[in-house]
Amino acid sequence: MVRTPAARVRQIFRLAALALGMTLLILLALDRWYPGNLQPRSRARLVVDAAGHPLRSFADEEGVWRYETSAAQVSPLYLQALINYEDRWFYKHWGVNPLSLLRAAGQWLRSGKIVSGGSTLTMQIARIRYHLGSDIFGKLQQIMRALQLEFHFSKQEILTYYLNHAPFGGTLEGVEAASRSYFGYSAQNLTLAQAALLAVLPQAPSRYRPDRYPARAEQQRNKVLDRLVIFGSITPTAATDAKMESVAATTPRLAMVAPLLARRLKQTYPDSALISSFIDRDLQQRLEQIARDSVYLIPERASLAIMVMEHETGKVVGYVGSADMLDANRFGHVDMVVAKRSPGSTLKPFIYGLALDGGLIHSESLLMDVPLSFSDYRPHNFNGGFSGPVSVSRALKESLNIPAVQVLEQLGPGQFYARMQTAGAGLLLPPGAQPNLSLALGGVSTSLEHLVGLYSTLANGGEALKPRLTPDDPVQRTKLLSGGAAWIVRNLLYRPTDEADFIPDLAVKTGTSYGNRDAWALGVTDNHTLGVWVGSPDNAAMVGHFGNFTAIPILHTVVSVLPRTNHRAHPRPETVTSQSICWPGGRPTSTLCDEIHHSWILDQTIPQTMMSTVGQSPLIPTPELSLRISRDTGLRTTLGCLEDDLVRIIPIWPAPLQNWIKLAWRNKVRIPALDPRCNLNDGLLTESPVQIVGIQDHDRIKRHASTLAQPRLSVDAVGGQPNWYWFLNDELLTETGNHLNLLLPNPGEYQLSVSDQAGMSDSVRFVVEQEPFNLVNEVEKSL
């Protein structure tokens, strides 16, 4: 049967349609069996400062540095150079440019080698994504995959994948990682010359690396610039100017600013490739330099930490977690900003602040810095010795321990602990412990970060502000103190400095933990709250180091480099007034006044003096005593004893202070004896004072040349009520009787004190001579 030409043409069309249909079915099957995707590879992680500059970067699990970006975040100059040099028809083809492939094939046939690949950007992405070769079979696979990708993804998605995965030499992938590593800043800020260089670098990243082969890199860069001129993308003048720019690329390096903060944020935000912080880069680098310079002033195994936070926003603008992260000898990998440590005396301002709000004290309330027993707790001062009667202001400024414990006992340690925890103090009690009086002296643990948040209370009208590390952290404020109490406490903590010209209104509190393991300094300036910690991460003692000696100098240096800002007024709240008050009563001035003090008063509340600890019941419980005095003898009478008498009110100092005040103010002098005409059994019984006998104040003890026997000091406590507690230079001794037989200590100055169960106390100071005499029971009076 002879077919007509028309029939043959129809048969050819049918066969072609069948072939096309079979091809489409095969392609669809292959697309189903080998689906295409542009799933990003695992990303490197980047933590940036407030301006978007890198603080620290972290490679992916394969050690590749790749920072996520998009076309909108890359310089238009780079996109222009990339598209015009690599694939001018990128936005017009379907993944394959037939003309480019034919040109490449002709060059190959003529020269016998590959001159140009003819690959589009989509084909290059297929090669990168699926690890395809560059031989003929590899090119066919690239073509198939490119068509597949173009079918499933938009041009923008394809371009974004290239921007993030193109190779740029070594372990660098993506234009953002390349720009930051070679030039030190984001690809958003590339110059024309740099954009041209990065556009060509993925063609042979190892051969054209600008840090290793700058001449080759420059040659290829100029080739791109010439191509851009030919295509009319840039002017010849722009190309000439760009060629004058040297290839000044640095060896890829890791950013290492605020490294411990960056590590912390990486762990906090595991799904984020780019993590922003509030770090002020210039300030941070200065703080890190201060830390490096300070290591020569602290023990060999010690470290330090610094945090700086803005008052109003809670933004943490400075964060130094250790002296040097790379110093293993100082445990530099341990972030001491968040480490739990004993806060020493740094919680005392909040004891006094809450007591002010509770109406227990004013700024000049009379407190007792004498040997006191609080049930089974007997604190002592850090520097040894006692000061006798002290005001709240002096007790806080000098960080005296016993007055702080006295106030905390009145406030209640449980209530104090609860209020502090509500404000975000992060206090951690020892296992099985309940809140107790040791809170005042650091018998708990917390972190530098929590303390900085607490101290912001003094600058924020009594509101504690939780430190914020990233823009994702919400602003959290918690009321801890009234505005008036916060103002008074901050005012009391102001201290003059030698750098007063550039450290205005600096309020400071120091702290030292038991055994000199932690040295603290917390500060409040016009605009910042800051803290410094110095110590050994392994909890070793630092002999001779404490807050006022070790941490304060570092704090002052930190304050000196803070950003200069306009002075912020710290106005006194209307709830705070100034008034003169009297000691011992603590009330406004009157005839019952032994000493006048000028005090800050909160809410017009003027409480009277606390006469004893909570567990004691003093015989005279108030600072004023009403007596009946005989007109003829001046002696004390009892009710109904004599008709010719009068009522006299006298000021009374607390019983524990009796041996620490002027003789004329003591009860035994101020309270007259009972008139013998009255019934002696009805008379007022005054507390029996305690007195140390066997040694007198300012005695000097020397050795005797004729004996080598070690001398003993034998003294007695006369008066008082058992038990008696003996202290040598503020250290509690084991003896609890009224007789003390003490091996004489080494040469030096000493204070011996005794306190009875009722709080009555006495003390004497003496000197053990340094001359190499043998000891005798000889006491030579000083002139």
Closest among 505, 497, 495, 457 to 349, alpha carbons compared: 457
User: With contact defined as beta carbons under 8 Å apart, do 712 and 781 qualify?
Assistant: no
**d(C-alpha 518, C-alpha 502), whole Å:** 28
Chain position carrying tokens 């903060």: 261
User: With contact defined as beta carbons under 8 Å apart, do 550 and 542 qualify?
Assistant: yes
Residue 396, Cα to own-chain centre: how many angstroms? 22
Pull the structure tokens for residue 540.
Answer: 């070793």
**d(C-alpha 610, C-alpha 368), whole Å:** 9
Contacts of 579 (CB under 8 A, 6+ apart): 588, 598, 599, 601, 606
Q: Which of 345, 536, 612, 755 is catalytic?
A: 345
Contacts of 183 (CB under 8 A, 6+ apart): 190, 194, 249, 250
Backbone dihedral angles phi then psi of residue 485, each to the nearest 5 degrees: -65, -40
User: With contact defined as beta carbons under 8 Å apart, do 621 and 415 qualify?
Assistant: no
- How many other C-beta atoms lie within 10 A of the C-beta of residue 700? 14
The single-letter DSSP state of residue 430 is P
**d(C-alpha 75, C-alpha 72), whole Å:** 8
Is residue 345 annotated as part of the catalytic site, yes or no?
A: yes
Q: Which of 86, 150, 173, 409 is catalytic?
A: 86
**d(C-alpha 267, C-alpha 273), whole Å:** 12
E strand or H helix at 508: strand 507-512
End-to-end alpha carbon distance in the chain: 150
**d(C-alpha 687, C-alpha 620), whole Å:** 9
Q: What is the largest CA-CA distance in the chain?
A: 164
Say which amino acid occupies 409: E
User: With contact defined as beta carbons under 8 Å apart, do 438 and 400 qualify?
Assistant: no
Cα 674 to Cα 559, 619, 627, 631, 670, distances in angstroms: 63, 17, 11, 13, 12
- Helix, strand, or coil (residue 500): coil
- How many other C-beta atoms lie within 10 A of the C-beta of residue 150? 19
**d(C-alpha 449, C-alpha 343), whole Å:** 12
Closest among 129, 132, 163 to 149, alpha carbons compared: 129
The single-letter DSSP state of residue 539 is -
Is residue 86 annotated as part of the catalytic site, yes or no?
A: yes
Closest among 470, 472, 474 to 424, alpha carbons compared: 474
Pull the structure tokens for residue 739.
Answer: 């007789």
**d(C-alpha 374, C-alpha 381), whole Å:** 15
**d(C-alpha 144, C-alpha 33), whole Å:** 13
Buried b (16+ CB within 10 A) or exposed e, 30-54: eeeeeebebeebebbbbbbbeeeeb
User: With contact defined as beta carbons under 8 Å apart, do 511 and 343 qualify?
Assistant: yes
Closest among 627, 626, 653, 630 to 641, alpha carbons compared: 630
- Helix, strand, or coil (residue 11): helix
Chain position carrying tokens 């007792």: 368
**d(C-alpha 665, C-alpha 670), whole Å:** 6
Closest among 227, 114, 249, 228 to 179, alpha carbons compared: 249
Cα 165 to Cα 38, 60, 161, 455, distances in angstroms: 10, 13, 6, 47
Q: Please identify every residue annotated as catalytic.
A: 86, 345
